[in-house]
């Protein structure tokens, strides 16, 4: 069996946090239409419950992302560096649109920011896989 090391722990924490942030959004998006049938309070309660784990997961993603950059500093040049900048932008957009979605008052704004959050979260995973090579 391979040995467990700090790289294993770092990547494990990053993947688990991404699973919560991205997978939770996909799951919640699938559940919202069903939950709405039970009333707006149920939908709001589910969203609040998700936010209690989603935002800490996002924080873990940021911290382990910084750790990833430090651990992989020897790769930070050329195309890798450009891809890393794209990753920063997509992650920032994911966090910002999630925040705006949570603050939105109209259904249109909630829908638009929710969709943008999902797209940017998936984009972040895609670009992260590109970086992992």
**If pLDDT is split at 50, 70 and 90, which confidence band does 40 have?**
confident
99 and 35 Cβ atoms separated by less than 8 Å = no
Alpha helices, DSSP H, located in 37-106: 40-71, 78-103
Among 66, 124, 68, 69, smallest CA distance to 93 is for 124
Q: Read off the pLDDT of residues 70-118 as tens digits, 9 standing for 90 and up.
A: 998 888 789 999 999 999 999 999 999 999 999 999 989 999 999 999 9
pLDDT digit string (tens) for 7-39? 999 999 999 999 999 999 999 999 999 998 998
Q: What is the 8-class DSSP label of residue 72?
A: T
pLDDT tens track for 60-73 = 999 999 999 999 88
Query: What pTM, to 2 d.p., does this model score?
Result: 0.91
């Amino acid at each position: 069996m391979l040995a467990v090391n700090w790289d294993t722990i770092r990547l494990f924490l990053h993947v688990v946090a991404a699973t919560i942030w991205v997978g939770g959004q996909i799951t919640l998006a699938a559940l919202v239409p069903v939950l709405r049938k039970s009333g707006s309070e149920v939908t709001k309660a589910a969203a609040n419950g998700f936010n209690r784990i989603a935002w800490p997961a996002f924080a873990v993603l940021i911290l382990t992302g910084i750790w990833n950059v430090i651990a992989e500093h020897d790769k930070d040049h050329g195309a890798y560096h450009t891809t890393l900048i794209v990753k920063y932008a997509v992650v920032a957009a994911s966090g910002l649109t999630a925040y705006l979605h949570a603050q939105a008052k109209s259904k249109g704004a909630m829908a638009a920011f929710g969709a943008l959050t999902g797209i940017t979260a998936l984009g972040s995973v895609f670009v992260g896989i590109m970086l992992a090579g």
